[in-house]
Each structure stands twice: as C-alpha cells, then as structure tokens.
Amino acid sequence: MKKKSRRKHKNIMRRLKKNYRKQIKRQLSRDFFLLSKSDINSISLYVPNLKDDDTLFVPREDNGYGHFPDDDEILMQNGYASTSVLLLNLIKLSNDRFLKESYINPVMFCFRQYLELTMKDSLLRFRLWRKSPSRGEANLDGHNLFNLWRDLKQYIGPKDKEVNRIGKLVEELNAADEDGTLFRYNEFLTNSIKNTVITRPLIDINVIKLRILQMYSFFEGVNELARKGLEEIVGNR
C-alpha cells in the first residue's frame, strides 16, 4: 500500500508541475506580447531619476513585497527554453527589422543555455542513479555541449535514428559556438577579447523554431527519464 500511495502521490505532483508549466507559458506569452509593443528606448524615457538610497535588490527581511528567483531546476530550464520560443514568435509577428535583429541573439543564447542546463541536470541525475560516472566523463563545470552530449548518450538507451539526428544538431551548434560566447558577445568584443574573427551562422526563423521545438521535446524526455529513475532509487531506500 505504501508503494501504491507513494506512486499515486508522485503522479499527482507530476501533473501539477505540468499544469504549472502551462500556466507559466500562457502568462509569459501575454506579458511578452504586451512588452513588445514598446521597446526599451521608449519605455526608459518615462522612468523617474535614481535617488541616493535606491538599491537594486530589496532587503531579504522585506520579502512580503519582494520576489526571490525560484531555484527549482525545472522552472529555470523551462524559462530559458520558453523565452527562446516566445522571442521567436515576436520576431515572426513583427515587421520591425530592429526588433528582429535585436532578439535573434537572445533567442540563440537562451536555447543554448537551456541545452547546457538540461544536459547537465540529466547527466548528474543519471550518475546518481547509476551510482558513479564512467571513467573519462567530463566535469559539469564546462560549457562544451559536445562533451556533455557524448557523456549523456551512454545513459539514454539504444542509439536509434532520433538520437543520432539530435546528436548532429548538438554537434553543429557546438561547432559554431564551442565556448558559449557567440551569442553573448558582439563582434567588436569578441575580436578585442579573444583576438579572433567570428563567423555567425545563417539563421532561418522557421527552421530554427522547428529545430528548437524538436530538440526541446527530446531533451525533456531524457530529463524526465533521469528524474523518474532517481525518484525510484530514493523512494526505495
């Protein structure tokens, strides 16, 4: 009975999390659409001047009106992935070239960040589930997507066509942005700091949105598998 009760509780919590995700996505969609009506230049014209006692964050003891960033890893991963798709939707809806060119780098940065987070999270959970990493596995403190994917593959079962196709996309992105700076730095900064000339890939909005959704679907499945496995191990102890 205890096992059945525990399994029922887990299923309820899983459904609640999924419903919560849907609510967040709907709210983000509404908020982003409204915000896109005015860019930061026009909005900043009407803000009050800074005062001497103004601070960036509110005191922790005043959390009655403040908000702490949620440390839940699901929300953080989902936030980066959702933001990339929301910005892509705004780009598709807008005829403003300035908006299109401004948002495409945040789109790619957010999705790359999602991939890094979800692969690291899944890899860590699999390692805890399988007791220990295999010899030669990469540390989780780097930004190289290829290394993370190489190590993650051994935990996700048979290498079918989908796994191979996803791997090609991960390797393509890593080849273009090996250290995670291509969509964070502009050309002037990159050339000055790294003394290298960057080559930006050509991006088709429709193609990149489809690929993001396909990769998101795959990696969410992998992350769910890692979570369920670890939950079972912890629940049986």
Average pLDDT across the chain, whole number = 81
Q: Model's pTM, two decimal places?
A: 0.76
Residue 55, SS3 per DSSP: coil
The reported pLDDT for the residue numbered 149 is: 94
pLDDT one-digit tens code per residue, 31-53: 655 656 667 777 788 889 999 99
Q: What single DSSP character describes residue 44?
A: G
DSSP H helices, the chain, are 2-35, 40-43, 73-93, 97-129, 145-153, 161-176, 187-194, 205-235
Distance between CA 168 and CA 174 in Å, rounded?
10
Residue 131 has pLDDT above 70, yes or no: no
The token pair at 57 is 């964050």
Question: Tokens standing for 137?
Answer: 């596995």
What Cα–Cα distance (Å) separates residue 84 from each residue in 16, 36, 54?
24, 14, 32
pLDDT higher than threshold 70 for residue 7: no
Measure the CA–CA gap between 72 and 70, rounded to whole angstroms.
5
181-217 per-position pLDDT tens digit: 889 888 888 878 877 777 889 999 999 999 999 999 9
Predicted confidence band at 161 (pLDDT cuts at 50, 70, 90)? very high
Contact between residue 125 and residue 230 where contact means Cβ atoms under 8 Å apart: yes
The average pLDDT across 73-83 equals 86
Higher pLDDT, 134 or 205: 205
The pLDDT of residue 17 is 67
pLDDT band at 152 (very low <50, low <70, confident <90, very high): very high
Q: Which amino acid is at 197?
A: V
Give the type of residue at 230.
Answer: L
225, 156 in Cβ contact below 8 A? yes
pLDDT band at 94 (very low <50, low <70, confident <90, very high): confident
CB atoms under 10 Å from CB of 157, counted, come to 10
Query: Is 63's pLDDT higher than 70?
Result: no
Per-residue pLDDT band at 110 (split at 50, 70, 90) = very high
